[in-house]
Amino acid sequence: MAGNSVYLGEDGILRVMCLGDQDEATVRDTVEQALAAAKAAPAETKLLFDASRAGRFSAEARKIIVNSLASTAWGQVASVGSSTLMRALGLFMGGGADSGRIRFFETRKEALGWLGVGRKGGKRRGISLQRLWRTITRMRWLRIKEQWLKEVFELLEGVATGDFSKRITISKHEDELALIEAGINLMADDLEEREREAKEYNSRLREERNHLARELHDSMSQLLFSVILNSEAASTLVENDPELSKARMKSVQAAASTAQQQMRDLLTELRLGPLEAGLSAALSDYIAMFKEREGIDATFSVEGDKPLAPNIERELFRIVQEALNNVAKHSQAKSVRVALSFSPAFVRLTVEDNGVGFDLERPKYGGLGLTHMRERAEGLGGVLAIESALGKGTRVTVELPREESYG
């Protein structure tokens, strides 16, 4: 269990201490605390990022660390980590344009010395990309075992064929090889994560297709049958009973108008065009159309509007569509409120109605729609909460981590 801490020492160094395994949520919270502390500091902050007692960093946690350590909010950044994995991660931090500002050390004493605290000029571990390149070119002087080469080629062959499950056994004594091995394993970790995300996206895409197919069958087929039935009756009655024929034609017009509107709604769900102007603008337009179409008083508010990654905007838009669809079909509500709020690390969406509500122990309300919303939220590392009771309305709250760089 991770137990990270962030504090500003008397020496003016902001310390970020990581303990235990690090997942995405833990690291986001730690980075948010560090950025808040840096903002409150009187001058450009020197940062000591100490991962010497950290466990495993997930793929998303590594990205957040690399992005945050490269943030312009810091002055000098010293990163400490004794494990081979952390040294390999240091390649990403020490090999770019900020390599003079970000350095990686094996001990806290060396790092503090470089930051100007205690002994000066701590010895820097060679973790730059240049050092890695020299290591690779000196491979003929290293004692490379046949088993090691076999593991490397098996991993690379697996990657080429779409199998990202293999890893290289980290060497115990050959330090230079261990650094390269950890770097290759990091690459395999990231590729495996991308494959998982692609499978989840394809699964949600199939669900959306099935959902649209059901909507077309359940609503459009009935409306079109009504159009055909009333138009045939009108043509039969036009000579013998003109008034009744006119009434039937009005029914045809009403059914056709409803079918046209439902087709527009389904097309809106299919295309991403509404999001070109941003999530807030798209939701404002959609909720206004919902209010006009359903006759339900619908309001929308946004706080701290910030741009989001396209996949997050798309999923939040779909969640609002699904939630409002449930309101229109099941809630018998007279009003609904949609609210969107942003913080540095999270985005929160709330959809609340004043309808009949439902028993959470027997959630017939929304049924499959609630399942789809929850899957969308969890697919992006977020959570969905539902509050409802009979006669007291329903509130759906979604909280997602924001996919953006801290810099």
Sequence spans of domains, the chain: 5-136, 277-407
Alpha carbons 295 and 9: distance in angstroms, whole number: 59
Cα(86)–Cα(106) distance, integer angstroms: 9
Q: Which of 3-12, 78-87, 356-365 has the lowest mean pLDDT?
A: 78-87
**Model confidence at 225, in pLDDT bands (50, 70, 90)?**
confident
Q: Strand pairing of 335-342 and 346-353?
A: antiparallel
Give the contacts of 189 (CB within 8 A, at least 6 positions apart).
59
Instruction: Identify the helix (H) or strand (E) that includes residue 156.
Output: helix 146-160
Q: On the CB side of 218, how many CA atoms lie within 13 Å of its CA?
A: 8
Q: How confident is the model at residue 214 (pLDDT cuts 50, 70, 90)?
A: low
State which fold the 277-407 domain adopts: Heat Shock Protein 90 (3.30.565)
Distance CA 140, CA 142 (A): 6
Quote the pTM value. 0.43
pLDDT digits (tens, 9 = 90+) for 331-362: 999 999 999 999 888 999 999 999 999 888 77
The C-alpha torsion from 251 through 252 and 258 to 260, rounded to 10°, is: -170
Q: CA 317 to CA 49: how far, in whole Å?
A: 37
Paired strand residues for 57: 22
Distance CA 277, CA 269 (A): 16
Does the pLDDT at position 83 exceed 90?
A: no
pLDDT tens per residue across span 155-196: 777 776 677 777 777 665 555 566 666 777 777 777 777 777
Q: Residue range 360-365: average pLDDT? A: 66
Q: Which residues pair with 78 in a beta bridge?
A: 48, 103
Whole-angstrom distance, CA of residue 407 vs CA of residue 220: 49
**pLDDT exceeds cutoff 60 at 105:** yes
Q: Is the pLDDT of residue 303 over 80?
A: yes
Give pLDDT, residue 245: 84
The percent of residues in the chain predicted with pLDDT above 70, rounded, is 72
Question: In the CATH scheme, what architecture does the domain 5-136 have?
Answer: 2-Layer Sandwich (3.30)
Query: ∠336-337-339 over CA atoms, to 5°?
Result: 155
CA distance 156 to 294: 56
pLDDT of residue 389 exceeding 80, the answer is yes
Whether the domain at 5-136 and the domain at 277-407 fall into the same CATH topology = no
Predicted pLDDT at 37 = 86
Burial 282-314 (b: 16+ CB within 10 A, else e): bbbebbeebbeebebebebebeeeeebeeebbb
Residue pLDDT, tens place only, 16-62: 998 888 888 898 999 889 888 888 877 778 889 888 888 878 877 87
Cα separation, 34 vs 16, whole angstroms: 7
142-151, 348-357, 362-371: least confident range: 142-151
Considering only 151-155, 211-215, 346-350, which range has the smallest mean pLDDT? 211-215
Gap between the Cα atoms of 340 and 354, Å rounded: 18
Residue of 125, 150, 138 whose CA lies nearest to 177:
138
What local confidence, expressed as pLDDT, does residue 174 receive?
A: 52
Choose among 32, 88, 94, 43: nearest CA to 62: 88
Show the DSSP H helices in 175-300 as ranges: 175-215, 221-237, 242-270, 279-294
Average pLDDT, the chain: 77
Q: What are phi and psi of 393, to 5 degrees?
A: 75, -175
Pairing of strands 45-57, 13-22: parallel
Judge contact between 89 and 119, C-beta under 8 A: no
